[in-house]
């Protein structure tokens, strides 16, 4: 407990911004914890950490952490993060986004950030729903799920965030849940140390806007659901019946330098060529 108190005092704007905006039973606070523990474990200087968040419940995380924080426009967190990282590659830049933020309105930016492999850590809080606007379906809402804009059940298929980001060329892709906190901590800390574009998908329940309309009696049931459905990647691959199970763990982990490093190398090469010619 003492350690938690210390982390709160060290990393959160607790005297300005508490209590958190999140509903009872929301998993976002746990992801916020993983983010703080990750930065702490790596011993990063707060002045060197930038959190760029989008719009939605997850976007509010930026206001709570005592880093350099930017609460961007909806879906555009990665574009601002890209500008910051290219302008100052020394900074550790983290983009915090929700599922609607990162994969609906910001989908184009996400696949291009992955493709150009910008050295940004993307933390996507996937709760399958637009929470802040009151429970509309998103591009990760499972087929058949109910929401205010899919009252007869969602007809459209959901994005698989891991597969999409992998296909787009990210250097690192992983998935965790807020039930498996230690594992999530590890995934976030690992992503923060890796070069290039690293995405962590955190499955986090939204009882208020998603659970109530989809047969969950309370938030605890949603956490139990995560516990039962999520399977570590290695075990998942050995499963005969994979239906309804969600693999978690690290899916992609490639050693490729980020765009900012490659750009600096190109500038250096240009200078050498010029120097040689003179």
Binding pattern to other proteins, positions 225-264, x when CB under 8 A? --------------------------------------x-
Distance of CA 48 to the CA centre of its chain: 19
Tokens of 201: 């998908």
CA distances from 85 to 125, 154, 183, 230 (A): 22, 38, 27, 33
| Residue pointed to by tokens 């523990």 | 37
- Contact mark string toward other proteins, 30..49, x via CB under 8 A: ----------------xxx-
Going through 27-170 in order, the beta strands assigned E by DSSP cover 49-53, 68-71, 92-98, 120-126, 129-130, 136-137
Give the shortest CB-50-to-other proteins separation in angstroms: 6
Residues 74-133 that bind other proteins (CB under 8 A): 76, 78-88, 90-91, 108-109, 112
Give the Cα separation of 77 and 172 in Å (integer): 18
In the complex, minimum distance from the CB of residue 109 to other proteins, in angstroms, rounded to a whole number: 6
Q: Which two tokens stand for residue 115?
A: 């493709």
Residue 7 within binding range of other proteins, rule CB under 8 A: no
Element housing 229 (H / E):
helix 219-229
Residue 236 or 263 having the CB closest to other proteins? 263
Residue among 26, 52, 61, 164 that touches other proteins (CB under 8 A): 52
Contact stretch for other proteins (CB under 8 A) within 69-77, 152-160, 200-208, 211-219: 69-77
User: Which one of residues 14, 41, 66, 150 is an interface residue with other proteins (CB under 8 A)?
Assistant: 66
Task: Establish whether the linkage from the previous residue to 76 is cis, with ω within 30° of 0.
Answer: no
Nearest approach, Cβ of residue 92 and other proteins (Å) = 10
Q: How far is the CB of 180 from other proteins (least distance, A)?
A: 31
Can you tell me the distance from the alpha carbon of 51 to that of 3, in angstroms, rounded to the nearest whole number? 23
User: Is residue 96 classed exposed, middle or buried when 0-12, 13-18 and 19+ CB atoms within 10 A define those classes?
Assistant: buried
Give yes or no for residue 16 binding other proteins (CB under 8 A): yes
Which residues of this protein are in contact with other proteins, per CB under 8 A?
Answer: 16-17, 46-48, 50, 52, 62-63, 66-73, 76, 78-88, 90-91, 108-109, 112, 263, 266-267, 270-271, 274
């Amino acid at each position: 407990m003492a350690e938690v108190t210390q982390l709160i005092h060290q990393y959160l704007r607790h005297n300005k911004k508490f209590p958190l905006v999140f509903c009872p039973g929301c998993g976002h606070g746990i992801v916020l914890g993983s983010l703080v523990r990750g930065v702490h474990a790596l011993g990063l200087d707060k002045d060197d950490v930038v959190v760029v968040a989008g719009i939605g419940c997850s976007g509010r995380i930026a206001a709570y952490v005592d880093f350099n924080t930017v609460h961007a426009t909806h879906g555009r967190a990665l574009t601002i993060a890209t500008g910051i990282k290219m302008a100052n590659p020394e900074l550790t830049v983290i983009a915090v986004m929700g599922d609607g933020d990162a994969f609906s309105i910001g989908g184009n930016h996400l696949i291009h950030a992955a493709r150009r492999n910008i050295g940004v850590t993307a933390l996507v809080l996937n709760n399958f729903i637009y929470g802040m606007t009151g429970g509309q379906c998103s591009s990760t809402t499972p087929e058949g799920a109910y929401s205010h804009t899919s009252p007869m059940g969602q007809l459209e298929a959901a994005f698989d965030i891991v597969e999409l980001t992998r296909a787009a060329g990210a250097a690192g892709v992983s998935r965790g849940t807020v039930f498996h906190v230690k594992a999530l901590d590890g995934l976030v800390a690992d992503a923060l140390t890796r070069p290039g574009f690293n995405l962590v998908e955190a499955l986090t329940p939204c009882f208020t806007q998603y659970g109530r309309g989809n047969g969950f009696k309370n938030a605890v049931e949603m956490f139990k659901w995560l516990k039962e459905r999520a399977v570590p990647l290695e075990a998942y691959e050995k499963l005969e019946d994979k239906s309804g199970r969600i693999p978690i763990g690290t899916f992609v982990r490639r050693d490729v330098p980020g765009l900012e490093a490659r750009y600096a190398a190109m500038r250096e090469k240009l200078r050498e060529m010029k120097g040689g010619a003179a």
